[in-house]
Amino acid sequence: MIKFAELERGDIVSITGAVANSHEEQRAIVPAWKRGMSNYTSYLDAGNDDMIGFPHGYGVDGNLVIHAAWSSGLGIFRVNNDGSFTKIYGNSDPSGAYGDANNQSVVLHKDLQLFVIMSYDNNGYSIWDYSDCFNGNAPTLEESGGTFIDDGAGLTIEDVGSSYYSGLTIAGDWVYAVDEGAEHYKAIGRRNLRTGVSEKVDFTTDKRTGSATIDRNGYRGTVFYDSVNDRVFYCTYYNANMTVIYDASTADPKAVWCDMGDAGLGDDAYEQGIYIRDPTNYPNKLVVGCNSRHAHVDITNCLSGGAVSVLGQMYTEDGANGSRFGNYFRAGVQEQDVTANHTERNPSFSDFCPTSPDRGRNMLDGWLDLDNYKIVGVYRHDSTTEDTTTGGRGRSYRSNYGAPIFRVRSTDGTYWWVKLGYDYDGHKYWSWSNDIGNGLIGNWEVIYGTYTLDNSANVDFVHLETLGHYTPSGCSFSYYVSNNNGSTWETYNASADGYHMFSSSGTQLRVKYSATGQSDKAPYKMSSSYDVVSYGSLYESVKDATIPYKVTRKKIRGKKS
Amino acid sequence: MVDDLEYWQKVLESAKRSLEIMEARGIDDVRSRKTAQMAIDEAKTEIENLS
């Protein structure tokens, strides 16, 4: 007698350290974050906390956080020494010049204590002095208008980025801004906040020695700054990807063309993000958003006119692997520096590349497995079963859009981790202590059951078919089975014929997954199907070695016809 | 944290506002609209269950 059963989410007896889901065509088990909606330190409903942009939807200076808001303009708050928040400023109409909605980009010039805030579909910009915000007072509007950058030779920028990625970044005194339109082909605009000068960086003439000549007319996109190596990454949504601008904070920036299309990564950068694992020792190895995937690449050869080396690819829409994220997938961090107080990186592990939600996908945040090259995360917050007790975490933080949780240092030197987003828990600012931080619980366990045979027959053997199980380096994934409802467990050890034979006697089957991991990575299941268990009874004659189990051959005598 | 009535009312209010803004500004991104609509439907169900 043999029966088959899917290890369904509804069969979960217990779950610790993980989140299991079953949404549309995703059947995943992912490690849970330490943080949750019960072990937070503080929260604040400021009324304008709908941060939607990535990666520059917000900026941090000291204990001050300034963010753009999609439906309500602008928000500024302070993180206090006890992890609580103080609202400094909220304005549903930041400039009066361009309406109050759809702001998704903000950058801070920390020396001048100025910030620039812009939208993606409302023309206009505003520049504010935020120095008095440290004293708890409102910022001062310094300048606003329709055109943020005008180089006097045809390049103008009135809005930036797109829905909902940001199109501003800052390198020293220079704010780089990207928009759509032919004037941005093979070029980017920038404006010096100290001098007020606007100029065009022309990738064909301002080319770094050795680089290939850019041969594609890319436009629209998102920009990232690598403060460790003074580089701006310009990733174009349409028609090419990517240009790296070296010496970005200087008067003489130089562009390097890194043709992702020629490297087989698609022509467009629908996905967004930059992550440099080791910006000091390996600055040219990075994760970059490409077409329907994030790619781990090495751009060293591009410095001498060569091609991008592809180290690995992580597809955003990979049905067989349960990756159901579509495009506009966010991965990476705003600040690459591993030593900065403000960080979205894991302070202890350089491997950790966070991913963030967009359009209601990856709602619980996730991460990239750079060992197996998979995107790890659940599609939506609903249709999930998760650990709500470990570390007093409660359920996971959820939002439709957001940025990675980030670290802020309060004035007494204490680190706090802050989460901003849009929709659901994004309605408030939330903080967690540094010991909780941005890491995973690491170890996790899920038990399924109880499965029985007809007439309470003994379960003598079991076969486990796992689908989409992955184990990153330094982690382990083990399977246990029980035929006495979990009283005793045996390590699942299938023989050559694929079956594990129980050494005990019992009628109630349970299956246990046990994973060991750490705060930056842990084993996971990403699949479109449940795992399947088959189990059954053996005839007594097979189980009992003392019973002769032999077919005696007997020659039939007779006459051949 | 409990997902109480107030929580879901805020989810509903926010998602409705998102759709209103999309309507007003002619944003026709299908997935954005679907995301907002899913939040509205979910919030309505939760509010009904909690009321």
CB spacing of B34 vs A71 below 8 angstroms? no
Q: What is the pLDDT confidence band of residue A71, given thresholds at 50, 70 and 90?
A: confident
Both ends of chain A: CA-CA distance in Å? 41
The amino acid at residue A137 is N
Residues on chain B touching A400 (C-beta within 8 angstroms): 35-36, 39
- Please name every residue paired with A446 in a beta bridge, in sequence order, or none if there are none: A15, A513
Q: How distant is the Cα of B3 from the closest Cα of chain A, in angstroms? A: 10
Across the range A542-555, mean pLDDT stands at 56
Cα separation, A333 vs A294, in Å, equals: 13
Statement: residue A549 has pLDDT above 80: no
Query: Of B3, B27, B32, which has the smallest distance from its Cβ to A359's Cβ?
Result: B32
Buried b (16+ CB within 10 A) or exposed e, B10-46: bbbebbebbbebbeeeeeeeeebbebbebbbebbeeb
Least confident residue range of A62-76, A470-484, B37-51: A62-76
What's the average model confidence in pLDDT over A397-416? 97
Residue with tokens 């970059």: A288
Question: Could you report the per-residue pLDDT of A487-518, keeping only the tens digit for each?
Answer: 999 999 988 778 999 999 999 999 999 999 99
* Contact between residue A363 and residue A380 where contact means Cβ atoms under 8 Å apart: yes
Rounded to an integer, what is the distance from CA A483 to the centroid of its chain? 39
Choose among A55, A100, A73, A120: nearest CA to A358. A55
- Shortest alpha-carbon distance between residue B35 and chain A (Å): 5
The C-alpha of B32 sits at a distance from chain A's nearest C-alpha, in angstroms, of: 5
- Which contiguous run of DSSP H or E holds residue B21? helix B5-25
| Cβ-Cβ contacts under 8 Å, A101 against chain B | 21, 25
Mapped onto helix, strand or coil, the DSSP state of residue A334 is coil
pLDDT digits (tens, 9 = 90+) for A353-395: 999 999 999 999 999 999 999 999 999 999 999 999 999 999 9
Residues A140-186 pLDDT 10s:
999 999 999 999 999 999 999 988 999 999 999 999 999 888 888 99
At residue A100, does pLDDT exceed 60?
no
Q: Is B34–A360 a contact, with Cβ atoms under 8 angstroms apart?
A: yes
Q: Which residues contact A399 (CB under 8 A, 6 or more apart)?
A: A357, A363, A421, A422, A423, A424, A425, A426
Q: Is A24 on the interface with B (CB under 8 A)?
A: no
Model confidence pLDDT, tens digit, residues A178-237: 988 888 899 999 999 999 999 999 999 999 999 999 999 998 899 999 999 999 999 999
H or E, element range at A64: strand A64-69
DSSP A11: G
In angstroms, rounded to a whole number, what is the distance separating the alpha carbons of residues A301 and A530? 43
> By the CB < 8 Å criterion, does A424 face chain B?
yes
Neighbours of A454 (CB within 10 A): 8
In angstroms, the separation between the Cα of residue A240 and the nearest Cα of chain B is 22
Determine the residue among A43, A48, A399, A400 to mutate to test chain B binding: the one whose Cβ has the most chain B Cβ atoms within 10 Å: A400
- Choosing among A43, A71, A316, A424, which should be mutated to test the B contact, i.e. which has the most B CBs within 10 A? A424
Predicted local confidence at residue A267, as pLDDT: 87
Q: Tell me which of A486 and B14 has the higher pLDDT.
A: A486
Q: Is the dihedral of CA A412, A416, A421, A425 positive or negative?
A: negative
| pLDDT score of A558 | 54
Q: What is the pLDDT of residue A87?
A: 96
β-pairing verdict for A26-31 and A469-470: unpaired
pLDDT (0 to 100) of residue A551: 47
Q: SS3 letters for A410-427?
A: CCCCCEEEEECEECHHHH
Looking at residue B1, its pLDDT comes to 59
Say if the Cβ atoms of B42 and A395 lie within 8 Å: no
CA–CA separation, B47 vs B51, rounded Å? 6
Residue with tokens 């023309």: A123
Q: CA-to-CA distance for A101 and A58, rounded, in angstroms?
A: 15
Q: Tell me the residues of chain B between 3 and 42 that have a Cβ less than 8 Å away from chain A.
A: 3, 10-11, 14-15, 17-18, 21, 25, 27, 29, 31-32, 34-36, 38-39, 42
Q: What are phi and psi of A161, to 5 degrees?
A: 65, -145
pLDDT at A561: 47
Q: What SS3 state is found at A392?
A: helix
Phi, psi of A400 (to 5 degrees): -80, -30
Report the mean per-residue pLDDT for chain A: 93
Choosing among A43, A51, A237, A359, which should be mutated to test the B contact, i.e. which has the most B CBs within 10 A?
Answer: A359
Q: What is the DSSP string of A483-497?
A: SBTTSS-EE----TT
- A394 near B CB under 8 A: yes
A424:B39 CB<8 A: yes
Integer Cα distance of A96 and A114 in angstroms: 18
ω into A253 cis (within 30 of 0): no
Per-residue pLDDT, A544: 60
- The contacts of residue B16 (CB under 8 Å, 6+ apart) are B36, B40
* Chain B positions in Cβ-Cβ contact with residue A163 (cut-off 8 Å): 27, 29, 32
Angle between helices B5-25 and B30-50 (to 10 degrees): 150
Spatial contact of A102 and B25, defined as CB atoms under 8 Å apart: yes
Is pLDDT at A318 greater than 50 in this prediction?
A: yes
Res A542 pLDDT > 70: no
Give the H/E segment covering residue A451. Answer: strand A444-452
State the Cα–Cα distance between residues A193 and A299, nearest whole angstrom: 30
| pLDDT of A374 | 97
CA dist., res. A264 & res. A243, Å (int): 16
Q: Phi first, then psi: what are they for B39, rounded to 5°?
A: -65, -40
Residue A259 · residue A186 · CB < 8 Å? no
Of all residues in chain A, the percent with pLDDT exceeding 70 is 94
| pLDDT tops 50 at residue A248 | yes
Which residues in chain A are contacts of B44 at CB distance < 8 A?
none
Question: Dihedral, CA atoms, A421, A424, A428, A429, nearest 10 degrees?
Answer: -40
Determine the residue type at B11.
V
**Residue B45: predicted pLDDT:** 97
Contacts of B25 in chain A (CB under 8 A): 101-102, 121
Q: Which has the closest alpha carbon to A135: A92, A176, A88?
A: A88
Write the residue in B25, B31, B39 that is nearest to A101 by C-beta: B25
Instruction: Please say whether the dihedral angle defined by the alpha carbons of residues A443, A377, A41 and A439, taken in this order, is positive or negative.
Output: positive
